[in-house]
Structure 1
Amino acid sequence: MQTEYIKSNELFADKGFESLYQFCKKPILVADQLRNPENAGALIRLADNIGAAEMLFIGDSTAMRMIRLKRAAASSFGNIPWSFVSDDAIIQHIPAGYTKIGIETTRDALNLFTTELPDNVVFFAGNEGKGMRDELISQMDYCVYIPVPGPTRSLNVTHAVAVVVFEWLRQKMLKFNVK
């Protein structure tokens, strides 16, 4: 038996994902001081996949190779709002009523898979080498960590954000009965 390939746009067209955002706000994703343009582009694509309101990068855009970022973002490059913002401006980009959650392994971090994530959320991720800066962590409502049972105890930033945002989506789909 051969299974027919179907484009994901067709597969998900009747799933009612749009209705999810009648019950909660679209998430916002923030990455702090990324160094790799491929990771930045992949996060833009991920933000587009999840239907995020926007993707924000804390840091200087001149440090990024835009050609590589655009290539990694693929068709998502122009689909969602994204921008580089300064440390001082980041909090101004967060609407009232959103919970700020860091994706980081802090002493007080909560296990992602045993934590009920809020409806209206901004997820923050640190850079590829050092993670989130302490001054940014101190501005979070709380942090979550992803249990990693294998010998390598860290994930690529894009993988970590993907795990977290799709866990958020799973929880919201169950809560709001979105099939």
Structure 2
Amino acid sequence: MTTYGTIPTTSSSPPSTPNLVYISRVKNKVRAGLGTRQPWKTMLDPRSFGIPITLSQAMSRVRINVPYFRVNYAMVALLILFLSLLWHPISLIVFLLLMALWLFLYFLRDQPLLLYGHVIDDRIIVVVMTIFTVAVLLLTDATVNILVAVAVGVVVVVAHAVFRKTEDLFLDEEVTGLVHNGGAAA
């Protein structure tokens, strides 16, 4: 029986290799996972910086900016830590392994982390991963570099959070944990 002129019902193209499918899935997951960060253009907009007038205004900015830019801040702190380890190859290898753990547990998750049937909050994951990362890296004999990098990272994050105005942020009560009573944020 001949089938000339008929339209085939199945695809005649060869199935894509598992490696290409896996790479495509990882690329999509990276885009989706890092999509939870705020745009760098929003974070670093020069018009959005100003000196706080009071200490309470500075604290209010920190309380709003830290949850809002938490993924960006984690990326900045990890970049500072990475740069401090460039001259310590063993520490750098350990750090890269820890980065894989960060990617898996924090940056690329698309569902909440469940542990024994309980949802683990992102803030707890960040604190535990930070302590674990610093503790494991301290075992690699790069103590001074690590402590200086952590201190510089904290200073950079807090300085940005204090000087970044919050009026132009699109706040979500779930993200910040704040409830707005009709008033403008500091």
TM range (shorter): under 0.3
* TM-score for the superposition, normalised by structure 2: 0.21
Q: Relative CO higher for 1 or 2, CA cutoff 8 Å, sep ≥ 6?
A: 2
The structure in which a higher percent of residues are strand is 1
**Could you say which structure has the larger radius of gyration?**
2
The structure in which a higher percent of residues are helix is 2
* TM-score for the superposition, normalised by structure 1: 0.22
